[in-house]
A and B are shown apart, each in its own frame.
Chain A
Amino acid sequence: HEGLAPGCHLYPFNVTIHSDRRSTCRGTHLVYACVGYCESSAFPSRYSVLVASNFTHNITSASRCCTISKEAKVKVRLDCPRGRHHDEIEILTARACRCDMCRKSRY
């Protein structure tokens, strides 16, 4: 990635979509992800946190993650063999990025 820069930035990549497992129809489009390096830290928990966790959480981790803050839908045209019908599929692309809450459930 671009020079390991701090912050959270748009990152272009090509997505290829197949209409089915046999890839009868397929299309490729340039879309954007958000990739970056946001600040996080871990330090000894306050006494109130220790008590609330029954003394199991002696570390507190405070973090932000690189997230998509603005997105848009783009239509990808799928081209089929021998010029048969052309399907269109909508996918998301990032329009703006931001270091924000780490929303993921597994986080």
Chain B
Amino acid sequence: SPSVNLRRFTGCAVREFTFLAKKPGCGGLHITTDACWGRCETWEKPIVDPPFIDSFQRVCTYNASRLVTVRLPDCAANVDPSYSYPSALSCECGVCQTRTTECITSA
């Protein structure tokens, strides 16, 4: 909601996200859906024994989601027009699950 100041927000919340759904053989479709955004607590702390730095890393990610399927426009005759994507029902600060999630991190 507009009453939340995003610059000062800490925690992890459902937030609207717009992306272009496309795949080879079909036209693109702009989709607005619920995704996750926030700031989770993370830290690095010196410790006496190896590896000398202890760390705690949690990221804002999906807690529960539902799969939404849409039809992409202008698909070639031999191409399945359906496109599925997750829509967030709730979000949490948690470990990035490499089994279901592409975990990317940047400087």
Q: Which residues of A contact B (CB under 8 A)?
A: 1, 4-6, 8, 11, 13, 15, 17, 31-47, 49, 53, 56-68, 71, 89, 91-94, 97, 100-104, 106-107
Q: Which residues of B contact A (CB under 8 A)?
A: 7-10, 12, 15, 17, 19, 21-24, 33, 35-46, 48, 52-53, 55, 57, 59-62, 65, 67, 84-86, 88, 91, 95-96, 99-107
A59/B101 in contact, CB under 8 A: yes
A40/B60 in contact, CB under 8 A: yes
CB<8 Å pairs between A and B, sample of 13: A5-B8, A33-B43, A39-B39, A42-B62, A59-B101, A61-B59, A61-B61, A61-B101, A91-B48, A101-B105, A101-B107, A104-B55, A107-B57
Chain B residues, Cβ within 8 Å of A56: 99-100
How far is A33 from B65 in the complex, measured between Cα atoms in Å?
35
A71/B41 in contact, CB under 8 A: no
* Interface class of chain A by DSSP: strand
A33/B45 in contact, CB under 8 A: yes
* Closest residue of A by beta carbon distance from B99: A56
